[in-house]
Amino acid sequence: MSEELDLHERAQEWMAGDPDPETRHELATLLAAATDVSPVAHEAMVGGALPDAAAATAELADSLSGPLAFGTAGLRGRLGAGPNRMNLAVTRRATAGLCAHLRELVGSDFTVVIGYDARHGSRRFARDAAAVVGAAGGRALVLDEPGPTPLLAFAARHLGADGAVMVTASHNPPQDNGYKVYLGGRAVTGAAQGTQIVPPHDAAIAAAIEAAAPAAQIPADGPWEVVDPAVRAAYLDRVASLAPGEPASALRVVLTSLHGVGGQMATEALQRAGIEVLPVPEQAEPDPDFPTVAFPNPEEPGALDLALNLARAENADLVLANDPDADRCSVAIPAAGAPGGWRQLTGDEIGALLGARAARDHQGQAGALLASSVVSSQLLGRIATAHGLEHRETLTGFKWIARADATDDAVTGGAGAGAARLVFGYEEAIGYCCDPEAVRDKDGISAAVVIARLAAELRAEGRSLQDGLDDLARDHGVHLTAQVSLRVADLSRMTEIMARWRATPPHSLAGSAVEGVSDLALGERLPPTDALIITTADGSRVIVRPSGTEPKLKCYLEVIEAGGDRAEDALHAARERAQSRLEALRTAVEELLEA
């Protein structure tokens, strides 16, 4: 009974501060079912049928178990009522917290630019956030229509905004939404302008959110402006500048936006780069329910099926896929012997091709820097060295990669970054920053343009992206990567495994002696993070870390094999050896995780 009373009190308290009648109604319905209110009484109170009591109790308890944590990724969660869901009340309090933090940093005349995707609730959350900024005395600028995250990241720098908000849940399931925060203008200066928040800003904003009044008491009637469409045009101009002139060879590309908001801009950007675009018609228009995919993530099995079918039917040269907010880009290429005649490239393969292109463009330039997350392939480092450039590893997440040339200790772990200029960065989870001067975040649209033009240039030589990968393997060795994940029901299992591997790391992996164990929690190479790097005598590497977003322990595997001479059969043999070693390493890690 005491638990029911506690739920009742918390629900009533939340509803009293919730400005949205829809979510108040939702919570009232759950409360009525969970506390055995009679159907007649419920009909009189809020109307409608009651859900199952047990299910309602569980849902009510979960929705009230928050608050939804605000961190370096901002907010992300299921849509619904209560503090542990994404809703108008949560986003309004988050905006009040952001405004309070900006006022501390720059004073009362702060500017915030706001973008949003086409998910359920996104437009409403964005415009309510703008009204909160305006009521708090700030200048609020809202993008004129649903758009991709890279456009918002571009607008943040282009307009010199002190803060920026993107309402999106990226590639999450349809029932989710999110609230991503960037700082720039006068709030964050130097190379890090326009990047996603990192400590200590996340903790400061979270504290300001906690101190904020109930949402219903936060003024949300302030003025806001629509961003001039010229900003959208400027972004497209900038992307087009990454592939100047006409390509030397025609290229036909199948493009899918997976029901997201990037399709129109990606199509225009590719066409301006001289690429013929064949959109996947079933997935071209924004649809918040993502009806043709089980999960709207280009990396998920089956997500590219419609695109690959169209590519085969139209005899296309390339498949490009953006996730729903278009900040990531996946690529598939024709491949003899692969199922269906096509192969989806790994995130590391795309990163190597784009990184090599950037390295050639900035060959020998003083201070030019390539960056990748610590869990990405080591190949980019070898490419950088071969072109006389610097390479840096960062923590996972683009909030760190985009700040690789910043000089604050939050990024470098106190080591000092020195004079550098980021020209390319990537993470293995198909995120690429091809134009850091304009967009300090991953950008799936500019990545699509650059990889398509690279494919067109190679085609003009009678070659392909696979040939480009072969060149890199011959020059720098075959680098093969894979992931092994262990999903847990009890989070303490991850803690136990990490503690065990720290105390007694394996003596060997896949028959090769373990030569080094680096504990990133010590903060010697990077800011402290819960991860281990294990290296073996044959050059294999395993990185173990708990996922930051899911109940998973993730292991990133890499093997490196000498590419051999220029002969094709030597490279083929090297790839076979590398694949055999990778499979053995995968088996060894899986056995250790299950032990």
> Mind telling me the catalytic residues?
170
User: Residue 429 in 3-state DSSP?
Assistant: coil
Query: Could you tell me the sign of the dihedral formed by the alpha carbons of 98, 432, 345, 273, in that order?
Result: positive
The four Cα atoms 505, 510, 512, 518 give a dihedral, to 10 degrees, of -30
CA gap 355, 582 in Å, rounded: 23
Q: What Å distances lie between residue 382 and 433, 473, 560, CA to CA?
A: 19, 11, 12
The angle formed by the CA atoms of residues 363, 364 and 369, to the nearest 5 degrees, is 80
Q: Is 181 in a helix, a strand, or coil?
A: strand
**Backbone phi, then psi, for 117, in 5-degree steps?**
-100, -165
Tracing tokens 């498949």 back to the chain, one arrives at 319
How many angstroms separate the CA atoms of 213 and 222, rounded?
Answer: 17
Instruction: Please give the Cα distance from 388 to 266 (Å, whole number).
Output: 33
Contacts of 16 (CB under 8 A, 6+ apart): 214, 216
φ, ψ dihedrals at 383, nearest 5°: -60, -45
Residue with the two structure tokens 């869990």: 375
Report the relative pairing of strands 163-167 and 111-116 from DSSP bridges: parallel
Provide the CB-side half-sphere exposure for 399 (13 A, CA): 17
Angle at the Cα of 435 from the Cα atoms of 433 and 440, rounded to 5 degrees: 60
Beta pairing class for 225-226 and 139-142: parallel
Pairing of strands 552-561, 541-546: antiparallel
Burial degree of 567 (CB within 10 A; 0-12, 13-18, 19+): exposed
Q: Which residues, in sequence order, are CB contacts of 203 under 8 Å at separation 6+?
A: none
- Residue 569 makes CB contacts below 8 A (sequence gap 6+) with none
Number of CB atoms found within 10 A of residue 40's CB: 8
